[in-house]
Amino acid sequence: MIDFRGIIDELQNIDFTEIRLDNVGSWPLIVRILACILTLVLAIGGYWYFRINALNTTFSNAVASETQLREQFSQRAFQAANLEAYRLQLEELELRLETLIGQLPTDTEVPGLLEDVTETGLGSGLTIENIILEPEIAHDYYVELPINIVATGGYHDFATFVSGVAGLPRIVTLHDFSISGDNEVLLTMNIDAKTYRYRDSGE
């Protein structure tokens, strides 16, 4: 059994002013033993502290990685489960895109479209004073073809014309317009129409 009282008595009799690092060999036995124990405790404590910190860091990284992997797995599992639905949606979108592109006139169809607009105006009771195809405006995926139309007629004729243009098989949109005239029987309408064609990759 360790005699702690004896150890304490020995320590009280030691003159610590004579204990220096340059004469470790002459230290009293009890001091050398205590120094060894303290050094061992500090070494074990330091190793334990840094080791635990390293393990905590590794554990935190593993937990974060696990969370991220679980999220990725969940997303991919959802995508895999809905893959067939995505394919069907993609096919539907491609079909709709082809349909819309089919409604855009090609260069050779523009004169025919102008004739259709003119016939729609005449069929609505309007007199087409002027119809001018203005310079093209290129965008990323399509080319805009502005058309300026000047026509005369009555309010109801204008409404019938707008409705007829909206029903054309090719896409034509009507924009800024102005109506002028001295009476409601014969008015002049100036309107900007736009049609579009698909822009080829070579343009």
Q: Domain with 182 in it: what CATH number?
A: 3.30.70.60
Assess contact for 179 and 188: CB atoms under 8 A: yes
Boundary residue ending a domain (51, 81, 111)? 81
State which amino acid sits at residue 146. Answer: P
Tell me the H-state helices in 124-179: 155-166
Q: Residue 190: beta bridge partners? A: 150, 178
The number of beta carbons lying within 10 Å of the beta carbon of residue 4 is 8
93 located within any domain: no
Phi, psi of 144 (to 5 degrees): -90, 130
Q: What is the pLDDT confidence band of residue 36, given thresholds at 50, 70 and 90?
A: confident
134 located within any domain: yes
Domain shared by 6 and 52, yes or no: yes
The number of beta carbons lying within 10 Å of the beta carbon of residue 160 is 18
119 located within any domain: yes
For 6, the domain range is 1-81
Q: How many domains does the chain have?
A: 2
Domain shared by 107 and 192, yes or no: yes
Domain shared by 173 and 106, yes or no: yes
97 located within any domain: no
3-state secondary structure of 169: coil
Q: Say whether pLDDT at 168 is over 70.
A: yes
Residue 123 in tokens: 């069929």
Tens digits of per-residue pLDDT, 101-140?
666 666 656 788 888 888 999 998 988 898 888 888 888 7
Q: Say whether pLDDT at 77 is over 70.
A: yes
Tens digits of per-residue pLDDT, 86-100?
888 888 888 887 777
In this predicted structure, what is the pLDDT of residue 167? 86
Domain shared by 148 and 112, yes or no: yes
Please tell me the pTM assigned to this model.
Answer: 0.48
Domain shared by 116 and 162, yes or no: yes
In this predicted structure, what is the pLDDT of residue 150? 92
Assess contact for 126 and 185: CB atoms under 8 A: no
Domain shared by 71 and 110, yes or no: no
168 located within any domain: yes
In this predicted structure, what is the pLDDT of residue 148? 92
Of 10 and 161, the structure prediction assigns the larger pLDDT to: 161
174 located within any domain: yes
Average pLDDT over the chain, rounded to whole? 79
